[in-house]
Amino acid sequence: MESIWTQTCNHREKRPPLDRQIEADVAVIGGGMAGILTAWQLEQAGVRTVVLEADQIGQGQTKNTTAKITVQHGLFCHTFLEKKGEETARNYVQANQEAVKEYKRIIKEEGINCDLTEADSFVYSSDREKLRQETKAAQRLGIRADLKEQIEIPVPCAGAVCFPNQAEFHPLKFLYALADTLKVYEDSQVKEVEDHLVKTSLGSVKADYIVFAAHFPFINFPGMYFTRMHQERSYVLALENTGRIEGMYIGDGEEKLSFRQYDRYLLLGGQGHRTGENKSGGCYQKLKEAAQAYYPDSRVAACWSAQDCITADSIPFIGAYASDRPGWLVASGFQKWGMSSSMVSAMLLRDKICNIENPYAETFAPSRFSTEEIPQIARDSGHAVKGLAKRFFHVPEETANMLERGHGAVVETSQGKMGVYKSEEGELFKVDIVCPHLGCELTWNPDEQSWDCPCHGSRFDVRGNLLDGPAQEGIQYE
């Protein structure tokens, strides 16, 4: 089903693809929140910028976000202070605080009608001590933070940490308004990047700088971002008949449900899992059960899901793509906080390109390395090895005949192992099960009826069409 953002935004005609050779100061790859904001900030600074979008602006993860604009990225202040030290924690907080302010400034000064609402942000938890620690840590980092004993949503908890004066908006209304002022080519998937030349199937851009804002940096070497990030997917319901809430909420720990209001809808999110690891499904069902428990009179008006890149040290990668590619820049790894992180990216990359010193550059630089990353990188590599090994050693127990209608599985066929989906009408859809990114075996996601890769999170529909990267092509379909 389409997200509430797609359903409540005017249809836009697609812009024509790039069909010739052009030149620009900067070529931005990807027309999501990160790419459009970066291009807009650059244009404002007088830098000639073009955006190349594989499909249509905003139709990647951005159309499926919950669009809270906040510095409060979970209960992170205490952990950041302990693990990363005062300077990094402070830089992270300040960069995001400036990003929240910048959204408010742009929307006001440009007169953008995108349903911006100022709202307090809360993280609730059943661990009172953790909340107390977080409040103190946030205050030490310069954030106005209050410990609340009671909150307006009916979840069991010991209270919440509140960051006042954050914001929420309609992401597509905002994105389209900014994009209207930019040079954007849609249906222009970047196929190859050679030094300063970006190639699509019909044209190319020669640019001094190239910004990879394609959600997952899809060029594997150099950079090797696939070794330092994985993707996690989560699910959202838009509920009607719940009554209104004023704040934006997210839980800490196991019961990590997210709540915000948009118009007459309450958006309830959760059931996160590593992409490619949802074999038994039931994510929407569990969210519906939570909705019933907390809002017995509610009705589901829409449901959707999205995914985001998770870095090993919980800080996005914003800055130089690789030391041997001068002019290549990247913005990725937003940890499901890509509204503020996209604005941080746009401001940092603008400053880098315009040669302006930015005090937060080192904190987000992809070249950083801390020992904190090692255990997560080891876990991610373990997943990749498992995904690859599965391709060679996993012998499916099922055959296509055993599949129930509406279900999919990796099965043994006369052509070898294949991914097979049996539609409600009994039609079989067979796909190659090898991920074109780096060759792991795909798994079935019953909630989205898609083939998902457990290694780095690429996704494909039942006909093999590419849904999400890092893969850049579909899989074979019979």
Ligand X SMILES: Cc1cc2nc3c(=O)[nH]c(=O)nc-3n(C[C@H](O)[C@H](O)[C@H](O)COP(=O)(O)OP(=O)(O)OC[C@H]3O[C@@H](n4cnc5c(N)ncnc54)[C@H](O)[C@@H]3O)c2cc1C
- Residue 391, burial from CB neighbour count under 10 angstroms (0-12, 13-18, 19+): middle
Q: Which residue, 286 or 386, is less far from ligand X as judged by CB?
A: 286
The residues, ordered by sequence, that sit 6+ positions from 303 with a Cβ below 8 Å of its Cβ are: 1, 235, 236, 237, 238, 284, 287
**Helix orientation angle between 33-44 and 338-353, rounded to the nearest 10 degrees:** 40
- Could you tell me the smallest distance in angstroms from the CB atom of residue 158 to ligand X? 24
- Could you tell me the smallest distance in angstroms from the CB atom of residue 63 to ligand X? 7
Q: No. of H helices and E strands in the chain? A: 10, 24
Q: Which of 54, 435, 462, 466 binds ligand FES (CB under 6 A)?
A: 435
Q: Is residue 455 a contact residue for ligand FES (CB under 6 A)?
A: yes
x/- letters, 188..207, toward ligand X (CB under 6 A): -xx-----------------
Cα distance from N-terminal residue to C-terminal residue, the chain: 25
Q: Is residue 470 a contact residue for ligand FES (CB under 6 A)?
A: yes
Find the binding residues for ligand X in span 73-102 (CB under 6 A).
Answer: none
Both structure tokens of 288:
């519906």
Q: Is residue 319 a contact residue for ligand FES (CB under 6 A)?
A: no
Q: How many residues bind ligand FES (CB under 6 A)?
A: 13
The residues, ordered by sequence, that sit 6+ positions from 455 with a Cβ below 8 Å of its Cβ are: 226, 276, 383, 384, 387, 388, 435, 437, 438, 440
Segment lying near ligand X (by CB under 6 A), choices 27-35, 142-150, 286-294, 431-439: 27-35
Q: How many residues bind ligand X (CB under 6 A)?
A: 40
- Could you tell me the smallest distance in angstroms from the CB atom of residue 381 to ligand FES? 12
Report the candidate in 56, 54, 49 with the shortest Cα–Cα distance to residue 15.
Answer: 56
**Helix orientation angle between 77-84 and 128-140, rounded to the nearest 10 degrees:** 70
Instruction: Say which entry of ligand X, ligand FES, none residue 66 contacts (CB below 5 to 8 A, set by partner kind).
Output: ligand X
Report the candidate in 7, 1, 58, 73 with the shortest Cα–Cα distance to residue 264.
Answer: 7
Q: Is residue 437 a contact residue for ligand FES (CB under 6 A)?
A: yes
Q: Which of 3, 62, 314, 443 binds ligand X (CB under 6 A)?
A: 62
Burial 345-365 (b: 16+ CB within 10 A, else e): bbbbbbbbbeeeebebbebbb
Q: Quickly list H helices, 56-127.
A: 77-84, 86-109
Q: Which residue, 73 or 84, is less far from ligand X as judged by CB?
A: 73
The residues, ordered by sequence, that sit 6+ positions from 359 with a Cβ below 8 Å of its Cβ are: 91, 94
Q: Is residue 95 a contact residue for ligand FES (CB under 6 A)?
A: no
Q: Is residue 410 a contact residue for ligand FES (CB under 6 A)?
A: no
Q: Which residue, 59 or 220, is less far from ligand X as judged by CB?
A: 59
Q: Which residue, 138 or 193, is less far from ligand X as judged by CB?
A: 193
Residue with tokens 């790419």: 35
Is the N-terminal amide bond of 375 cis, ω within 30° of 0? no
Residue nearest to ligand X (CB): 338
Report the candidate in 85, 162, 153 with the shortest Cα–Cα distance to residue 131.
Answer: 162
Q: Which of 61, 261, 311, 445 binds ligand X (CB under 6 A)?
A: 61
Segment lying near ligand X (by CB under 6 A), choices 20-28, 212-220, 239-247, 426-434: 212-220
Burial 393-423 (b: 16+ CB within 10 A, else e): eeebeeebeebeeebbbbbeeeeebbbbbbe
Both structure tokens of 307:
């995914």
Find the binding residues for ligand FES in span 216-235 (CB under 6 A).
Answer: 226
Please answer whether residues 409 and 396 qualify as being in contact, where contact means their C-beta atoms are separated by less than 8 angstroms: yes
Find the binding residues for ligand X in span 303-322 (CB under 6 A).
Answer: 306-308
- Could you tell me the smallest distance in angstroms from the CB atom of residue 466 to ligand FES? 11
Q: Is residue 459 a contact residue for ligand FES (CB under 6 A)?
A: no
Instruction: Say which entry of ligand FES, ligand X, none residue 249 contacts (CB below 5 to 8 A, set by partner kind).
Output: none
- Could you tell me the smallest distance in angstroms from the CB atom of residue 327 to ligand X? 17
Q: Is residue 453 a contact residue for ligand FES (CB under 6 A)?
A: yes
Segment lying near ligand FES (by CB under 6 A), choices 258-266, 331-339, 389-397, 451-459: 451-459
Which residues are near ligand FES by CB under 6 A?
226, 435, 437-440, 453, 455-458, 470-471
Binding site for ligand X (CB under 6 A): 29-35, 52-55, 59-62, 65-68, 189-190, 213-215, 218, 234, 236, 269, 306-308, 334, 336-340, 342, 469, 472
